[in-house]
Amino acid sequence: MKKGLSAILMLVMVASLLAACGGNNKEGSESSASASSSPAASASASASASAPASVSDEKEPDTVTLRMAWWGGQSRHDYTLKVIELYESLNPHVTIEADYATFDDYWKKLAPQAAASKLPDIIQMDISYLTQYGGRNQLADLQPLIDGGFLNVADISESALAGGKVNGKLVAMNLGGNVLSTTLDVETMKSQGIDIPSKEWTWDDFDKMAEQAKAKGKQIGGFAFRHDVFFPYYLRTIDQKMYSADGKTIGYADDKAFVDYFTRYQKWYDNGYILSLDKETQKKGVAEEDEILLGNAISGNGWSNQFLAVANLITDRSLDLYPLPGRNGNKGLFQKPSMFFSVTENSKVKEEAAKFINFFVNDIEANKLIKGDRGVPVSSKVKEALKPILTPNEVKIFDYVAWAEQNSSIGDPPNPIGATEIEKLLRDMSERILYKKITIEKAAEEFRTEANKILERAQMQQ
């Protein structure tokens, strides 16, 4: 903020000197207009990403209120609000109204707003919903905002940007790189005599770890209700896909993959290796409820950025990041945009919304608060600037993602329209399986048939 004030004072002094020397007023006005029309041009420092141009003859900018929504746990809410406060202090004409919730509640709140074309100006977007919202033209095209100088992508790779494209349009700004991972409580495992796996571990190794943990009164982390994440991972490890390349059908024809995946998972459930469904249902998906933190489990599975919230809450021992088991060389793992920010099509202040996203992605001081919680930063300058100040837990995430870059393959395209309905179908089917209300073989056939019908309907509605 001090830098911003210094820059403003310097501009005022320069303007005064030009006036005293009989400078050309028209040229001065054009220069200041040029500076303010490219607000993202110098986004590498706290003030430069958003500092408003100010000269004696320029009117104050109009007051703006931005509505912004995201999902996450308490730690994410806390630092995001601090980033907002920092931005507002540098841009006094902007007020940002924040709305946040847990993942499931977030999408429940967003759906009726989308139907009424009353979405917030900035929304956090997940890849599983990207095609649904982007394909229905509910997200603004960011390219004009980039071309207009409101969003700086000079230090972001094309591959990082590509994940936010739908039908060739960039509709979502990638906030960070993410990789599927297993969190291990290695210290507890050693003290309990549970074998520590290598990074090349298999599903059989995972089964053995679960059995050893159960013998010591501990559980392993299951997949909760996120089979929409872990089943596609399993398919990748056996050279299959969840969806066909054109998104019109399920990507596999043989139900053996489904049967094998859920046979193993039911074994974990029946043996008490993982949390019961009634307990799982009560969880909100926040770090404070994590079973490792509560001392009940020795492992958990999720995205690499989720590691930090749990690891930071545990003060008496350290946790470690491992790849998921059974990855079959480089086939299983892939780098995924952790999440995005999108400007909504119904927003009346798209340029101001883009300026904030630019600040969030490119500003060094802002990212000292964020520190990779939303994934390893996509800006090369930000990533380099953060390295000296990272905590040990943050270093683990950065190092794991860097390792995964060399041990992964290209990710799947964004899920097709209809995928969110299929995810619900998969969740419902998994509950019926675990409660033994349907055989796994019958569930496999029913899921594939119903999922293909959902995709067919979605195609007809486009």
- Confidence class for position 5, pLDDT limits 50, 70, 90: very low
**Same CATH topology for 64-176+338-371 and 180-335+409-461?**
yes
Q: What 3-state class would DSSP assign to 100? A: strand
Q: How many CA atoms lie within 13 A of 326 on its CB side?
A: 17
DSSP 157: -
In the predicted structure, residue 399 carries a pLDDT above the cut 70:
yes
Q: Where are the beta strands (DSSP E) in 340-401?
A: 340-343
Q: How far apart are CA 348 and CA 422, in angstroms?
A: 33
Is the pLDDT at 126 greater than 70, yes or no? yes
Would you give the end-to-end CA distance of the chain in angstroms?
48
Bridge partner residues of 157 (DSSP): none
Going by pLDDT thresholds of 50, 70 and 90, the confidence category of residue 31 is very low
Grouping H, G, I as helix, E, B as strand and the rest as coil, residue 29 is: helix
The predicted pLDDT at position 298 comes to: 98
Fold of 64-176+338-371: D-Maltodextrin-Binding Protein; domain 2 (3.40.190)
Least confident of 92-96, 150-154, 165-169, 341-345: 165-169
pLDDT reported for residue 294: 95
Does residue 21 surpass a pLDDT of 90? no
Q: Write out pLDDT tens, residues 50-107.
A: 444 444 456 788 999 999 999 998 999 999 999 999 999 999 999 999 999 999 899 9
Cα–Cα dist 213/229, whole Å = 24
Element at 59 (helix H, strand E)? none
On the question of pLDDT at 411 being above 90, the answer is: no
Under a CB-based contact definition with an 8 Å cutoff, are residues 328 and 237 in contact? yes
Both structure tokens of 372 = 């990779």
Phi, psi at residue 293, to the nearest 5°? Answer: -60, -40
pLDDT at 275: 95
pLDDT of residue 13: 41
| AA letter at 230 | F
Question: Can you give the pLDDT at residue 57?
Answer: 55
Q: What is the pTM of this model?
A: 0.77
The whole-angstrom separation of Cα 185 and Cα 326 is 19
Return the amino acid letter for 231: F
Cα dihedral 388/394/398/401 (nearest 10): 180
CATH topology for 180-335+409-461 is: D-Maltodextrin-Binding Protein; domain 2 (3.40.190)
pLDDT in tens, 214-226: 999 999 998 888 9
More confident residue, 203 or 61: 203
- Write down the domain spans for the chain: 64-176+338-371, 180-335+409-461
Residue 155 burial (10 A CB sphere; 0-12, 13-18, 19+): middle
Residue 331: exposure state from Cβ atoms within 10 A (0-12, 13-18, ≥19): middle
Confidence of residue 379 (pLDDT cuts 50, 70, 90): very high
